């Protein structure tokens, strides 16, 4: 075993082993660091894109809601002296319903909650008492408002945007309101619904009670978000981005932004897995680009290790035959090109001289 070790553990092999081990560990560390940096960069970029897009959609939705309220308030001012004109009320309800397609339905109510006009007329609400949550809230508040989601008299899940009607003496005459049916085609789904991607990215909207107002899966509209570990941060910060697990346990990169006038939050998210798919290709390119240099370094180390060990090996071989008549000449021929081997060479020559003198 000792002889085997002495034959195998040669200086050039030890130097080569040490150098290659250090280089390999450095390469592995560099590769891992590069991987982590690229991974973090992809996550950051995807999260920032989602945040920016959610913010853009938030601004777009805010503009729509402001325009809708402005429409209602302007019409409410016109109706202040027309509440007894049934034809005019019906025409205005139809105009609001069909002119911009902002609302799924429009109602005009007097101060007691009795419907004066409605569009579409198929609702059959005219002359009937309104007792839905949105209508009662509008009658009680006597101010412009956007309701939280509720089930209407005709069993639609909706939000209700309303404006009060006052006469010239600021006496309350009733309200004008437009409904957005959340589970049917509506203006919000037109704004948000075109942004569903094949990689699993999607957008949804929640209110301050965590109730879903919009979702590409219509069956989830009206339900409440549960088992989402990022929801508390989303509700508290109002705008930003984070890595979270959704209700199905899938890791998602979410960007979110709030709609200040309603306390709704638009959330744009994409699966972490699909975001990191390019990482494999990136790291393959890193390996392909660094491999030639790594091999060149290994070759250089091997050649340099041989160059360092060669004079020492040759001196060691000559040390076995110091009593040979030609040993001095053989030692002189050895190219001891660095200080340590040169010193050893001189020491051996001195020793050879002493041996031969004896």
Fold of 64-181: Beta-Lactamase (3.30.450)
Q: Within 10 A of 160 (CB to CB), how many other CB atoms are there?
A: 25
- What 3-state class would DSSP assign to 252? strand
Q: Do 253 and 50 contact (CB within 8 A), yes or no? A: yes
Residue 4 confidence (pLDDT) = 45
Token duo for residue 23: 């280089």
Model pTM score:
0.76
Half-sphere exposure of 245 (CA within 13 A, CB side): 5
Q: Quick one: which of 244, 200, 203, 208 has its CA closest to 224?
A: 208
Cis peptide before 120 (omega within 30 of 0): yes
The DSSP letter of residue 88 is: H
* Domain 46-61+187-277 part of CATH 3.30.450.20: yes
Task: Go through 260-288 and write b for each residue having 16 or more CB atoms within 10 A of its CB, e for each that does not.
Answer: eebebbbbbbbbbebbbeeeeebeeeeee
The DSSP letter of residue 227 is: S
Q: Quick one: which of 351, 344, 357 has its CA closest to 322?
A: 351
Residue 7 confidence (pLDDT) = 61
Taking each continuous run of H as one helix and of E as one strand, the counts in the chain are 10, 11
Token duo for residue 113: 């909650």
Q: Do 138 and 162 contact (CB within 8 A), yes or no? A: yes
Residue 194 confidence (pLDDT) = 61
Averages of pLDDT over runs of 10 residues in the chain (358 residues) are 56 79 86 92 94 93 92 94 93 92 92 94 87 92 91 83 94 94 87 68 90 89 85 88 87 93 91 89 86 84 84 84 80 84 85 74
The DSSP letter of residue 148 is: P
Q: Quick one: which of 222, 141, 214, 223 has its CA closest to 177?
A: 141
- What 3-state class would DSSP assign to 82? coil
Q: Within 10 A of 244 (CB to CB), how many other CB atoms are there?
A: 19
List, by residue range, all CATH 3.30.450.20 domains of the chain.
Answer: 46-61+187-277, 64-181
């Amino acid at each position: 075993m000792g002889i085997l070790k002495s034959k195998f553990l040669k200086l050039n092999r030890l130097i080569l082993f040490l150098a290659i081990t250090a280089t390999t560990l450095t390469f592995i560390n560099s590769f891992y660091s590069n991987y982590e940096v690229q991974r973090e960069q992809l996550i950051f970029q995807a999260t920032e894109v989602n945040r920016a897009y959610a913010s853009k959609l938030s601004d777009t939705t805010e503009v729509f809601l402001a325009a809708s309220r402005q429409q209602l308030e302007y019409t409410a001012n016109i109706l202040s002296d027309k509440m007894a004109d049934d034809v005019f009320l019906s025409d205005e309800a139809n105009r609001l319903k069909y002119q911009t397609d902002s609302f799924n339905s429009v109602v005009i109510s007097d101060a007691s909650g009795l419907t004066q006009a409605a569009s579409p007329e198929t609702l059959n609400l005219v002359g009937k008492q309104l007792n839905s949550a949105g209508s009662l809230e509008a009658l009680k508040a006597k101010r412009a408002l956007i309701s939280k989601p509720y089930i209407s008299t005709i069993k639609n899940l909706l939000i209700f945007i309303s404006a009060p009607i006052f006469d010239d003496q600021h006496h309350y005459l009733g309200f004008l309101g437009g409904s957005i049916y959340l589970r049917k085609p509506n203006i919000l789904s037109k704004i948000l619904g075109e942004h569903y991607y094949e990689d699993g990215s999607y957008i949804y909207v929640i209110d301050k009670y965590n109730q879903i107002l919009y979702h590409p899966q219509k069956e989830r509209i009206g339900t409440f978000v549960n088992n989402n570990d990022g929801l508390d941060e989303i509700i508290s910060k109002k705008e930003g981005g984070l890595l979270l697990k959704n209700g199905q346990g899938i890791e998602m990169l979410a960007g979110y932004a709030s709609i200040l006038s309603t306390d709704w939050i638009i959330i744009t998210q994409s699966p972490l897995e699909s975001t990191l798919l390019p990482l494999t290709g990136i790291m393959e390119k890193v390996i392909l680009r660094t491999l030639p240099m790594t091999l060149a370094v290994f070759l250089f180390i091997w050649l340099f290790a041989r160059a360092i060990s060669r004079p020492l090996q040759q001196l060691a071989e000559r040390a076995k035959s110091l009593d040979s008549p030609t040993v001095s000449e053989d030692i002189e021929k050895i190219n001891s090109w660095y200080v340590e081997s040169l010193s050893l060479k001189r020491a051996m020559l001195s020793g050879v001289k002493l041996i031969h003198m004896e």
